[in-house]
Structures are given as structure tokens and as C-alpha cells.
């Protein structure tokens, strides 16, 4: 019986990723959200990476300040000094006040120490793909990357990154229906497609990716019944703001 429980645990840990950490209950993309994922035994964390004007890589979703940190500067026009003292937690509630904006380099160290796997979604915010790829490669070349997947909506960024990191695990992200011929022609060798879950409407929509040797991971799934349906259809992973809620229903 114990063996079965362990097997179930292993299964859900591998198939549900924490979107921006456990962002349903903690401020997204902060240590609090990542630590909650670790404590919940989540194996994969999806998180957003943005590059500042001074080329510091930070854990941050938006293209400007204002929603999760105070201020109104564009990320692409900001220095680390503009973010170093920012409070990225208080917007979610006073209990989370004082959460800093993490540096990618620090998250990589922590993830390695904790044995966590990271899905690094790179936000190019519409420009600077070359420099972002170069900076990311220089950071990743200093760490073990077997537990890291780099994902992006930006195919050009993935193409450039692939040139300097031929063995890195890559995935392309889509919020519109995928044209398979275009994907295969333009996208450098990827292991998976990360697809907006509402675009998956049948098992055939999953099989089309598996037939090409690609995993299909669905975001952002916060309804447990929908997660069960996606797993039944063969989806390889769901990315959720609330992994524990999904796991208790799905496994
Ligand atoms: O990585 C998938 C998903 O996070 C993409 O959308 O806006 O939540 O970063 P967003
Ligand atoms: Mg993301």
C-alpha cells in the first residue's frame, strides 16, 4: 500500500507545475511562492524571466512596474537599482510585505540546492532577443541544466539561444492554435509545446503533438475537472497556480 502511495506522489509531482510558484496563495514569482511549491513537494516551477536595461536577469512577469511592484518604469528601461529595494509581495496582502524581486542567478542556485526543476519562461517584451539569449546563456553555462527547460513565446529568441546552447531543453509557448508545419520549420529542436489549455479540445489535439515526438504541457489550469480531462486526453503536464488543489482531485 505504501508503495502505491509513493507512486501516486511521484506521479503528480512530475505532472503538475507551479505557475509563477504557488501563485494562487502567494505573491507570484517570489521566494514565498517558490518555497510554498517546495513544501508542497511540487517538482516543477514555472517562472518568468525578464532582462533589465543593464542586462540583469530578474524574476518578473510584466513589461513594466506597477502591478506587482510600485513604480511605473518599463523593465527594458530599468536598472537593477530600480528593482533591488522593490516590494514584490505586499500587493498580494500585508502578510507578504517585504518579498524582494529575485535574481535569476539566485533562483538557479536555490533550485539546484532543493532539487527542484525550473521552467524558465523568458519574456523578451518584444525586443532585445539577441542580448537576452546571450545573457541567459552566460548564466546557464555556470549551472547544471538537466533540470531546466527554457520556454518562450518568442521563436526568434529560441533560435538564437539554441545556437549557443545546443543541448538545452527548450519549449515554445502558444496562445493561438499551432500550425504544425510552421512550428517544425521555424522552431529549433524543442522537447515540448506549452499551450494555452483552452486550445486543447480533444484527444486528437494532444496526439498531433505526440505524433511529432513533442510533449504537450497545458497552461494555466486551475480547475481540477479540467485538469483530469486533460490528463485523460494524454496531456503530459499542467501548469497551475494551485498545484495541490489540482493534485488532490486528479491523483
Ligand atoms: O509559461 C506559460 C504561461 O506562464 C504563459 O503565460 O502570461 O502566465 O507568463 P504567462
Ligand atoms: Mg509565464
134 contacts 163 by C-beta, under 8 angstroms: no
Proximal ligand: closest to the CA of 172: 1
Q: pTM of the prediction?
A: 0.95
Pocket test for ligand 1, best of 44, 45, 46 (most atoms within 8 A of CB): 46
Residue ranges, the chain, pLDDT below 70: 1-10
* Cell numbers standing for residue 3: 508503495
The CB of 48 under 6 Å from ligand 1? The reply is yes
d(CA 194, CA 218): 6
Closest residue CA from atom 1 of ligand 1: 121
Q: How many helices and strands, by DSSP H and E, does the chain display?
A: 10, 9
DSSP state of 76: G
Of all helices (H) and strands (E), which one includes residue 148? strand 148-152
17 contacts 236 by C-beta, under 8 angstroms: no
- Beta-carbon contacts of residue 230 (< 8 Å; ≥ 6 apart): 197, 200, 206, 218, 221, 238
Distances (CA, A) of 154 to 24, 26, 130, 139, 175: 26, 28, 11, 19, 12
Closest-CA residue to 186 (of 167, 164, 170) = 170
The CB of 236 under 6 Å from ligand 1? The reply is no
CA 198 / ligand 1 centre spacing (Å): 14
Q: What number of other Cβ atoms are within 10 A of residue 8's Cβ?
A: 12
What pLDDT, on a 0 to 100 scale, did the predictor assign at position 3? 41
Start-to-end CA span in the chain (Å): 15
Pocket test for ligand 1, best of 119, 125, 192, 219 (most atoms within 8 A of CB): 219
What pLDDT, on a 0 to 100 scale, did the predictor assign at position 152? 98
The CB of 194 under 6 Å from ligand 1? The reply is yes
Compute φ and ψ for 136, nearest 5 degrees.
Answer: -65, -45
The CB of 23 under 6 Å from ligand 1? The reply is no
d(CA 142, CA 101): 21
- The region, left, alpha or beta by phi > 0 then psi within -120 to 50, assigned to residue 133 is alpha
What pLDDT, on a 0 to 100 scale, did the predictor assign at position 8? 54
Closest residue CA from atom 7 of ligand 1: 61
What digits encode the pLDDT tens for the residues 142-186? 999 999 999 999 999 999 999 999 999 999 999 999 999 999 999
Closest residue CA from atom 3 of ligand 1: 219
Closest-CA residue to 89 (of 37, 29, 49, 18) = 29
The CB of 47 under 6 Å from ligand 1? The reply is no
The CB of 154 under 6 Å from ligand 1? The reply is no
Amino acid at each position: 500500500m505504501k508503495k502505491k502511495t509513493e507512486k501516486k506522489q511521484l506521479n503528480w509531482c512530475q505532472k503538475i507545475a507551479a505557475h509563477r510558484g504557488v501563485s494562487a496563495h502567494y505573491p507570484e514569482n517570489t521566494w514565498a511562492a517558490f518555497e510554498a511549491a517546495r513544501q508542497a513537494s511540487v517538482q516543477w516551477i514555472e517562472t518568468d524571466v525578464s532582462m533589465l536595461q543593464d542586462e540583469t536577469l530578474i524574476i518578473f512577469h510584466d513589461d513594466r512596474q506597477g502591478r506587482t511592484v510600485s513604480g511605473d518604469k518599463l523593465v527594458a528601461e530599468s536598472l537593477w537599482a530600480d528593482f533591488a529595494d522593490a516590494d514584490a509581495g505586499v500587493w498580494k496582502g500585508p502578510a507578504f510585505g517585504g518579498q524582494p524581486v529575485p535574481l535569476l542567478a539566485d533562483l538557479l542556485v536555490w533550485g539546484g540546492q532543493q532539487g527542484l526543476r525550473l521552467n524558465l519562461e523568458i519574456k523578451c517584451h518584444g525586443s532585445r532577443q539577441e542580448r537576452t539569449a546571450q545573457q541567459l546563456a552566460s548564466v546557464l553555462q555556470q549551472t547544471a541544466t538537466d533540470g531546466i527547460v527554457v520556454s518562450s513565446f518568442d521563436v526568434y529568441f529560441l533560435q538564437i539561444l539554441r545556437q549557443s546552447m545546443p543541448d538545452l531543453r527548450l519549449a515554445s509557448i502558444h496562445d493561438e492554435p499551432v500550425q504544425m508545419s510552421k512550428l517544425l520549420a521555424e522552431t529549433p529542436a524543442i522537447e515540448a509545446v506549452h499551450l494555452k489549455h483552452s486550445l486543447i479540445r480533444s484527444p486528437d489535439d494532444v496526439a498531433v503533438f505526440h505524433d511529432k515526438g513533442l510533449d504537450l504541457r497545458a497552461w494555466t489550469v486551475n480547475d481540477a475537472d479540467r485538469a483530469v480531462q486533460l490528463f485523460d486526453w494524454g496531456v503530459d503536464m499542467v501548469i497551475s497556480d494551485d498545484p495541490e488543489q489540482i493534485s488532490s482531485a486528479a491523483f
